[in-house]
Structure 1
């Protein structure tokens, strides 16, 4: 109301503009960058709905998560023209988007996660995709916070604490209602592949008599084994997904620059009830699975072929429409604001705007840095005494 009174009593154009700027400045933090609007919505949901109705919270959260994450898939699919071909047995493929699942992925590339998200978007499971991730990931602005609000599993690499986190995380995953099918995305290698980590992985494998792999690190089986033990009788299937690219090692910067990328995901479905029961047997099963992954990747590099029929799941327009909506909602007010600052704003005002853009640019580079191979976690770089034993 005070804004309205002030606006109607000011006479000059410059004064009216100042009032408009005050209004916009009060709204700019929450309205210009829709990601912050979503984080505010997550927070309100947590405070208002979560204590009384967790099922309703998760249903609403599905759409909030989709509204945020689909912009990554929109940039990948519609801006860069990325394509993802699913290589999978037709009989197994019919189970997709009809059950909760754990997906075991390799972590050889910078954007393997994006290809998984593109596939999840096409089968309508993007909004309920959860990750097993290191704790630091939840600190990433916007996307990390969204992972936290959507109940992803953030591990501390302290088994005493991680055991409880996994137990609670997998329990909540299977509590989601039907038609809100959850994907638990697990990268058992624990970090992205680099030459140094691969060499160290070979040393440990030789010492312990494990399979030697050319394209993958030894998987960390403890969290996987415990998850399966907790999920038996609650989850139907585990999906093995191996991502490969037709050309080189694409990066997130390639996607942002509009480079068309062709990816392929070779997938298999395993019934949880058919998996071993003990931690030792599950660990061996996982290592053998990764050896199979490695053989698949090696053969693909040599022949450009996979051992499952390829299927292109059609793109949907949902992520594109959502992206355009947010562009209109956020960029139109922002452009109006910037043009007015350019012509009527004070020098201090303009300096603040420049500073904000610099900070946003630095934040974007910081977030992209998390995807770069050379900036992966330190896990696997050093062989500790404990690992070598």
Structure 2
């Protein structure tokens, strides 16, 4: 009874808005510091590109690890990995393309957690929409991590993606390239229109996924051949039919994620574009069957081989809090002592501004803020 009471008090504290503001302040302030340090590495790129990349991997980790810490340590969300024990020792020790399903608001964060547990979070790569390049801290950090920003106009993006992936052939650290082949998050409306496309093209219909974008996948595979060793087919779900969100994590709500990963050697994937497209469609039919198995049994097939949480995300998070909260509290103490109405109102306005910025950044991850893919007014092309 006493334990439940303490847990209730702790949960109440985690849901307090003032704590969320402090967390956002630490994230934004530390992120700006890291961005400035990354700018200072620009001259190093001209002298020693390898060293500049290694430095930016670790600076990037100082930002991304904080979000992972929110999931793993603040909300205490559990992550269970289903995978082949023979493949498990290779994770984190080779370059790979990670194919993720795109059904949840925090699926990207679960991907980051997977990266962190195998030591490749700082060097992980994604194919991101160009709008994210304007998001403070994260978008600016990604520039130095050589993330590919796309306009989602294939003719313009194709060459950009190919060149960026070719540049990774001399990357000095093991990296994972996280890829959402569906191109946008799953919604019932988008799924309905996507299945209309499947019917028109004579493709098998999917129950839990949208049709994958085959051209982007083919270009990725072709340009990472000889560099990446495998594709990690990753299928994510949450227990009890939960729909987790970043706001839920900030409020300290605990979720339980299940991730099923299959390692597929890259040299087994066909090289031809048409053959590669057929292979990817078959892969998503298999992913659909895994989700059906989960819906019926509450678990994925195969053994569990889950890596433990690493302490580094928590250590870095605590470091930033200790470094940045002391000067903040000192400023607030001086403001309270001054008694100036104008100063106090200015401080309140800044707090509101921080809150709005935080809400806008969180909004970029929400399902209803996804791409216009799947809307009735937009023509659909699943290639």
Same fold (TM over 0.5): yes
Give the 3 Å change call, closer, same or farther, for CA 386–367 of structure 1 in structure 2.
Answer: closer
Deviation at 1:295, TM superposition (A): 1.1
- Tell me the residue number matched to 1:34: 30
- For 2:325 and 2:113, how far apart are their aligned partners in 1? 25
Q: 1:173 touches 1:182 (CA, 8 Å); kept in 2? A: no
Distance in 2 (CA, whole Å) between partners of 1:31 and 1:114 is: 16
Which residue of structure 2 lines up, in the alignment, with residue 44 of structure 1? 40
Shift of 1:338: 0.9
**Matches of residues 55-204 of structure 1 in structure 2 within 5 Å?**
55-177=50-172, 180-204=173-197
Corresponding residue SS for 2:343: helix
Structure 2 distance, partners of 1:341, 1:214, is 57
* TM-score, normalised by the number of residues in structure 2: 0.90
Match among 204, 228, 250 for residue 211 of structure 1: 204
Per the alignment, residue 15 of structure 1 pairs with: none
Aligned residues: 358
Residues 31, 87 of structure 1: alpha-carbon distance in 2 compared, 3 angstrom cutoff: closer
Q: By how many angstroms is 1:43 displaced?
A: 1.3
Q: Is residue 230 of structure 1 aligned with residue 226 of structure 2? A: no
RMSD: 1.9
**Among 311, 335, 341, which residue is 2:335 paired with?**
341
* C-alpha separation in 2, matches of 1:294 and 1:122: 26
Distance 2:186 2:292 in 1: 15
Q: Distance in 2 between matches of 1:95 and 1:386?
A: 38
The 8 Å contact of residues 102 and 185 in structure 1, kept in 2 or not, is answered as yes
On the 8 A contact 2:373/2:380 being kept in 1, the answer is no
Q: Give the Å deviation of 1:161.
A: 2.3
Confirm or deny that 1:257 pairs with 2:255: no
1:306–1:44 Cα change, 3 Å: same
Distance 2:26 2:186 in 1: 38
In 2, the alpha carbon distance for the partners of 1:224 and 1:203 equals 22
1:301 aligns with 2:295: yes
Cα distance in 2, alignment partners of residues 298 and 31 from structure 1: 38
Per-residue deviation, 1:383:
6.4
Q: Which TM-score applies when normalising by structure 1? A: 0.88
Task: Give unmatched runs, 5+ long, in structure 2.
Answer: 1-24
SS at match of 1:269: strand
SS of aligned partner of 1:313? coil
Deviation string, structure 1 residues 139-164 (Cα, Å, up to 9, x no partner): 11111111222111111122232112
Give the conservation status (yes or no) of the 8 Å contact 1:32–1:333: no
Could you tell me how far 1:174 is from its partner in structure 2?
Answer: 2.9
* Rounded Cα–Cα distance in structure 2 between residues aligned with 1:147 and 1:388: 27
2:41 aligns to what SS in structure 1?
Answer: helix
Indicate the structure (1 or 2) with the bigger Cα radius of gyration: 1
For residues 168 and 281 of structure 1, the distance between their equivalents in structure 2, rounded to whole angstroms, comes to 23
The answer (yes or no) to whether the contact 2:94–2:229 under 8 Å persists in 1 is yes
Q: Aligned partners of 2:168, 2:261: CA distance in 1, in Å? A: 21
Alpha-carbon distance in 2 for matches of 1:189, 1:176: 27
> Would the aligned equivalents of 1:102 and 1:186 in 2 still touch at CA under 8 Å?
yes
List runs of 5+ in structure 1 lacking aligned partners.
Answer: 1-28
